Amino acid sequence: MTAIEDTAAPAPLIRSRHRSRLDRREGRAAFFFLLPGLIGMVLFLIVPIIASVVLSFTNWKLLGTPEFVGISNYVRLFTADPQFWPVVRNTLFFTAEYLVLNIVISLGLAVWISSLKMGQRWFRVIFFLPTFTPGIAVAIVWMLIFSPGGFFDYVMGALSVQVPSMLTDQTLAMQAVIIVSIWAGVGYNTVLFNAALDMVPQSYLEAARIDGATAWDRFWKIRLPLISPTLFFGTVMTAITSLQVFDQIYVMTRGGPGNATSTLGYAIYQRGFQNFQMGYASTIAWVMFAMIMALTAVQFWLQRKWVHYDN
Amino acid sequence: MTTRTRSGRALALDILNHGALTLVALLFLFPFFWMVSNAVRSNAEVLAIPVRLLPNVFEWDNFAKAWTQLPFGRFFLNSMIVSVSVTLITVVVSCLSGYAFARLKFPGRDALLMAYLGTLMVPAIMLIIPLFLIVNNMGMVNTFQGVILPVSFGTFGAFLMRQFFLSIPMELEEAARIDGASRLRILISIIVPLSMPAIGLLSLFTFIGQWNNFLWPLIVMTGSDNATLPVGLTYFQSQQGTQWNFIMAGAALSMLPGIILAILLQKLIYNSIALNAGMGGR
């Protein structure tokens, strides 16, 4: 019956019917191909995201039933929790200093490496190595370096510089965490920026050189604008990860001395998995998310002033 | 004559430039050196003042001692099981989803792809608490499933594989379609063999990411025997007085796979990062 209809129908109709059957078959195939990923995504991404919002409005402490408490977690966080503002300040302080140092140092190293005639890839590998090693192992060796009477104190003593022990000093502990984070994190951006510099057409630089531009001019007026989209990408990604800093702090200072190095990431762990305040910790997580979004938005807004897209 | 002196000066500058960066690189490598140097001395000597760059007596068997003092072999194996399993699941799931996104038509495809990309923006640490509750409800706390499954379904892989599949010419699979091969068959015998660079990249970064992962295994693996390497390392810390020499030996061992991979696969890593740089984050 259908066969007769098909042959009798005008050509375009056959095509479209054939197509729609094909589409349906493709749709079914797509469903099966996507199924494992979808199940995983719903179970381990979508449900947790929703649960995290809901939890942040409860007072759940892992045992017992969660009780809906409205926005009181948020109110308590912003108005009553004596540790919250110091933690926010520590996080912003870490992110600001780390971000600036990371971008400046990695850009400097990238430019330096790209000026070399040989061995570029070996220098890239060396600066990249910490990126591929466990953050915990990195933090542990730096803890030894910074321990009282350790290598850092020895160098400072040799230079006759009087510094208190880094990890036990209220103001210096965060600096120690930042040094470690820079050492561990600068390599990725170095390779990223170095790759972007490699892609700047040599002809542009040659032309500028012939026109009498100094090396400094060539850097500021040609290379930097041309790699600015990559620089922007690196800055955004680095900011997002640095707001979440955790491993170094867990190993080196546990948020101390006092509260000096306690950041949002550490506070979420502490409240959630040491005090079992799951609801309250979720509230902190959402504050962190809001900060990440805000910082990213600011960066996207600022990019109009300094990022040059070549189109 | 002048050209020769100019090129002579350029050469001298070149040597100076390479030398200076070599010095910076050596300083940068110092923590690695310090780790090994302290791994092979006695604990008393680690803490001795003044600091010495090299140990008086090299105790190379510290590596073996550290390995046996805690169930280090077990930690190593646990890390391997977790990292390899997550990598396998991620690659299989990403190839399947990536193929659907790249080659199949279905309603809502673009919206779904956008949803996949959207989840990339959610920071991992935010989901830690609800993920733990889900794992807890499924009775998977302190199990390998518990530590493996929740981190195996990241949406980045699907997007990466889609981008790569789009670059494979359609004609290559059309012939197979006409011969009546199924979609799955085409994916396995045509698309996947052509996608080894992208699959290699996804595997490499997934494996290393899991090998180095700390917070999630710390939370899920509550029994000490099930700890992964990074979590196991912190056990040296909490014992009666830190055994610095053993902890350094353990840390050095835990770094080995990453260092070997970074050196062996430097070209692949550079190319993948260069791809990011080329797209400029757009």
pLDDT tens figures, A247-279: 999 989 999 898 999 999 999 999 988 998 889
Give helix A11-41 / helix B109-119 axis angle, nearest 10°: 20
Chain B hits for A273, CB-CB cut-off 8 Å, are 132, 219
d(CA A208, CA A218): 7
pLDDT tens figures, B18-45: 999 999 999 999 999 999 999 999 888 8
Phi, psi (deg, nearest 5) at residue A61: -115, 35
Instruction: List the single residue in A with minimal CA-CA distance to B50.
Output: A154
Do the Cβ atoms of B21 and A273 come within 8 Å? no
Please check whether residue A85 is in contact with residue A263, taking contact to mean a CB–CB distance below 8 angstroms: no
Please check whether residue A84 is in contact with residue A262, taking contact to mean a CB–CB distance below 8 angstroms: no
Is A135 exposed, middle or buried, given 0-12, 13-18 or 19+ CB atoms closer than 10 A? Answer: buried
pLDDT tens figures, A218-257: 888 889 999 998 999 899 999 999 999 999 999 899 998 9
Task: Look at A9-23, B146-160, B241-255 and tell me which has the smallest mean pLDDT.
Answer: A9-23
Q: Which two tokens stand for residue A143?
A: 């803890």
Do the Cβ atoms of A126 and B109 come within 8 Å? no
The pLDDT of residue A4 is 40
DSSP 3-state of A68: strand
d(CA A54, CA A154): 52
Do the Cβ atoms of A137 and B94 come within 8 Å? no
| A65: Cα separation from own chain's centroid | 35
Do the Cβ atoms of B276 and A230 come within 8 Å? yes
- B192 has pLDDT over 90: yes
Q: What is the dihedral of CA A211, A215, A216, A220, to 10 degrees?
A: 70
Complex ipTM value? 0.87
Q: Which two tokens stand for residue B27?
A: 């300083």
A64 and B CB contact within 8 Å: no
> Which one has a higher pLDDT value, B201 or B7?
B201
> Pick from B123, B86, B146: which is nearest to A43 by CA?
B146
Do the Cβ atoms of A52 and B262 come within 8 Å? no
Nearest to A41 among B31, B153, B212 (CB): B153
The pLDDT of residue B238 is 63
The CA distance from A71 to the nearest CA of chain B, in Å, is 18
User: Does a cis peptide bond (omega within 30 degrees of 0) precede residue A257?
Assistant: yes
- Share of residues in chain A with pLDDT > 90 (%): 57
Chain A, window 249-308: residues with a beta carbon less than 8 angstroms from a chain B beta carbon:
250-251, 265, 268-269, 272-273, 278, 281-282, 285-286, 288-289, 292
Do the Cβ atoms of A49 and B273 come within 8 Å? no
Chain A hits for B282, CB-CB cut-off 8 Å, are 229, 309
The CA distance from A189 to the nearest CA of chain B, in Å, is 9
Chain A hits for B208, CB-CB cut-off 8 Å, are 132
SS (H, E, C) B189-240: HHHHHHCHHHHHHHHHHHHHHHHHCCHHHHHHCCCHHHCCHHHHHCHHHHCC
d(CA A287, CA A169): 28
Mean pLDDT of chain B: 89
Chain A hits for B215, CB-CB cut-off 8 Å, are 246-247, 250, 269
> Pick from A202, A230, A182: which is nearest to A114 by CA?
A202
The CA distance from B159 to the nearest CA of chain A, in Å, is 12
d(CA A110, CA A298): 26
Residue listed under structure tokens 């520590």: A90
d(CA A176, CA A179): 5
The DSSP secondary structure of B232-269, one letter per residue, reads HHTHHHHSSS--HHHHHHHHHHHHHHHHHHHHHTHHHH
The pLDDT of residue A6 is 43
Cβ contacts of residue B233 below 8 Å, gap of 6+? A134, A136, A137, A140, B247, B250, B251, B254
Q: Which two tokens stand for residue A45?
A: 């991404």
d(CA B21, CA B33): 18
The pLDDT of residue A5 is 41
Instruction: Label residue B200 left, alpha or beta by phi (over 0 means left) and psi (-120 to 50 means alpha).
Output: alpha
The CA distance from A200 to the nearest CA of chain B, in Å, is 10
**pLDDT category of residue A15 using cuts at 50, 70 and 90:** low
A247 and B CB contact within 8 Å: yes
d(CA B136, CA A276): 14
Highest mean pLDDT among A6-20, A283-297, B21-35, B100-114: B21-35
Q: Distance between the two ends of chain B, CA-based, in angstroms? A: 51
The pLDDT of residue B239 is 53
Task: Look at A34-43, A58-67, B80-89 and tell me which has the smallest mean pLDDT.
Answer: A58-67
- A211 has pLDDT over 80: yes
> Which one has a higher pLDDT value, B7 or A232?
A232
